[in-house]
Amino acid sequence: MKVTEHIERANGKTLFSVEILPPLKGQDVNCTFKTLDPLVELQPAFIDVTYHRQEFIYKQKENGLLKRYQVRKRPGTVAICAAIQNHYKVDAIPHLICGGFTKEDTEDALIDLNFLGIDNLLVLRGDPIKTEKSFVPESGGHAYASELIEQVTALNTGNYLDDDLQESHKMDFCIGVAGYPEKHFESPNLGMDMYYLKKKVELGADYIVTQMFFDNQKYFDFVKKCREMDINIPIIPGIKPLTTFNHLTSIPQNFYIDLPESLAMEVLKAKDKEAIKEIGLEWCINQCKELKAFGVPGLHFYTMSNSSNTKKVAEAVF
């Protein structure tokens, strides 16, 4: 079922959904099931599975020369989505990114996803890898999420890269895109970021999932700006609890967002790790309750494959 259909059928009720990482190379699917088993009890509407680009590593050969190797630490997004849908009968949503894919690779991936009965995608440009100062598109691929959306919408109308195909099958993917209440870190300002978001919606995006935030007013202002720009598709807030002292620096550094001063000061004054965790969970629970009262279509939790914190928050909210 499409995400938009889930929202329509909920009839105003706030949906619960989660995002997980694929298992590390060398692990099996049971690692994913172990993460999801406690969360599936709470009946998520859908489960997102991230995709990770290939990284490059250098290893010294016997002759002393360095050789570059491509590695992917977390392969298997498509297969994990198929396993989730088969095992739990819950809609799984793969992340589809620009980086590392030609247009032909993308079309092949979409054909596979269509064969598997996967109805939804989260379409993203993707982040630069560690060896890139800025994002570098694949030769013969896409540089922007908007271009990737265009390819998906073309397949939704039966237009493949091979122009000679006759009476080709039309796909029917529901397309999700990312939104940034505090703007994308590469955007010069929020206005420009909103301009590109509107472009993605005009090209066929069906719903928006936001980057995590810890100040609900940022989300409320973001929704208001969207509606003023005639961006009227569902906007699902992305949520993550702060649970460790290191999160004070790692979350702003990795996700380019601000932490409210009152939350940060509470964490600084906390006596131990358990107290920090309780502060973060209580903040997240209150945040979710306020969002739910506001009437958000769903609460989407970034679990990072740690289900226990998400479950504690969700049980207190839903």
Catalytic residues: 19
Closest among 266, 262, 251 to 302, alpha carbons compared: 251
In order of 174, 225, 265, the CA distances from 145 in angstroms are 15, 21, 37
H or E segment and range at residue 188: none
Distance of CA 47 to the CA centre of its chain: 10
Burial 214-248 (b: 16+ CB within 10 A, else e): bbbebbeebbebbeeeebebbbbbbbbbbbebebb
Q: Which residues contact 59 (CB under 8 A, 6 or more apart)?
A: 66, 67, 69
DSSP for residue 132: -
Q: How many CB atoms lie within 10 A of CB 96?
A: 26
Bridge partner residues of 70 (DSSP)? 56
Q: What is the CA radius of gyration of the chain?
A: 20
- Judge contact between 235 and 223, C-beta under 8 A: yes
In order of 136, 183, 185, 254, the CA distances from 189 in angstroms are 22, 7, 9, 19
- Judge contact between 170 and 158, C-beta under 8 A: yes
Q: Which two tokens stand for residue 31?
A: 């690692």
Burial 104-129 (b: 16+ CB within 10 A, else e): eebbebbeebbebebbbbbbbbbeee
